[in-house]
């Protein structure tokens, strides 16, 4: 990331902090995040009515352990696209709230009902928000993640660096209000359903983004505009995404995922934890102590 972009983010973060201090009184889940949308970058940072600490060191939990000794990354189970999607949806990740009423999209109840129906038809699912924002961890210039995901991202970034790839974090947690701004950004009011439906090929409506959970990231490689064509993507996706799995990450929208919401997004990954990956195909009553703990 260039020094200019980093400086712009810090200036935006300082200004946005004051705005959100007031906005939090109206919408406590109004935090946004730096995002990549197709090939367009947004530099607004994530801020909110909490002060996430920078430290990412946490007591080891079953959701952030590294692979057991002797387990090579290439020995992880092979997943189909639908299995990758099921893995994230069924993972019992900590610090997530129950689903509340769906947030507004266009401020038209009739239009919003049509959008939500189309979203479900495309394969989008409602996603929860963090239960306790004080447990989030600040990564860089306003980008926050859940604690296990924060540690796993830093481990993945370091692993990539040791193999010669400079990974950048372009987006992390995103709240409902920011997702709405992102979703409607290229569409002019009054909103036409066809325009909104076409937009869902590239972006989730508010309430349906995996970024709401704090367990999704958008990443890129320094110097490459298209992450899907970058050497870093070739490295991270090799062997059914073995180098991502090694740190508990899986592709968020894999190329063979079927009806999953947007078109495949090579830059987005979701955290589920190493154990969830290793144990996905294991029966609940199996003999493996890792998967029955």
Convert the pLDDT of each residue in 15-68 to its tens digit.
443 333 333 333 333 333 333 333 333 333 344 444 555 554 543 444 445 555
What residue numbers bound the domain in which 102 lies? Answer: 3-292
109: helix, coil or strand? helix
Average pLDDT of the chain, as a whole number? 78
Closest C-alpha to 182, from 17, 25, 19, 33: 33
CB 202 within 8 A of CB 38: yes
Total count of domains within the chain: 1
Higher pLDDT, 51 or 189: 189
Q: What is the pLDDT of residues 66-99, one digit of tens each?
A: 555 555 555 789 999 999 999 999 998 999 999 9
CATH of the domain at 281: 3.30.1380.10
Q: 6 pLDDT band (50/70/90 cuts)?
A: very low
Bridge-partner residues for 40, per DSSP? Answer: 37
Q: Which residue in this structure is represented by tokens 């929208």? A: 253
- Give 158's contacts (C-beta < 8 A, 6+ positions apart): none
């Amino acid at each position: 990331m260039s020094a200019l972009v980093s400086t712009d983010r810090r200036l935006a973060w300082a200004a946005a902090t004051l705005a959100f201090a007031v906005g939090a009184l109206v919408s406590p889940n109004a935090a946004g995040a730096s995002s990549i949308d197709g090939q367009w970058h947004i530099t607004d940072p994530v801020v909110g009515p909490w002060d996430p600490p920078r430290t990412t060191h946490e007591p080891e939990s079953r959701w952030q352990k590294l692979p057991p000794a002797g387990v090579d990354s290439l020995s992880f189970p092979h997943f189909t696209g639908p299995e990758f999607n099921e893995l994230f949806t069924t993972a019992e990740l900590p610090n997530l709230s129950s689903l509340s009423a769906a947030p507004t999209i266009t401020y038209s109840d009739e239009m919003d009902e049509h959008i939500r129906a189309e979203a479900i038809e495309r394969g989008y699912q409602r996603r929860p928000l963090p239960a306790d924002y004080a447990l989030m961890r600040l990564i860089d210039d306003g980008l926050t993640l859940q604690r296990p995901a924060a540690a796993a991202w830093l481990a993945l970034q370091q692993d990539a660096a040791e193999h010669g790839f400079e990974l950048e974090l372009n987006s992390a947690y995103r709240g409902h209000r920011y997702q709405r701004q992102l979703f409607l950004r290229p569409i002019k009011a009054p909103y036409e359903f066809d325009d909104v439906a076409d937009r869902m090929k590239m972006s989730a409506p508010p309430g349906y983004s995996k970024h709401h959970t704090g367990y999704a990231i958008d990443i890129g490689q320094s110097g490459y505009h298209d992450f899907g064509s970058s050497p870093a993507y070739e490295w991270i996706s090799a062997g059914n995404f073995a180098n991502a799995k090694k740190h508990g990450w899986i592709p968020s929208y894999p190329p063979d995922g079927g009806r999953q919401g947007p078109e495949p997004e090579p830059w987005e990954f979701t955290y589920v934890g190493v154990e969830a990956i290793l144990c996905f195909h294991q029966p609940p009553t199996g003999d493996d102590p890792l998967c029955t703990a």
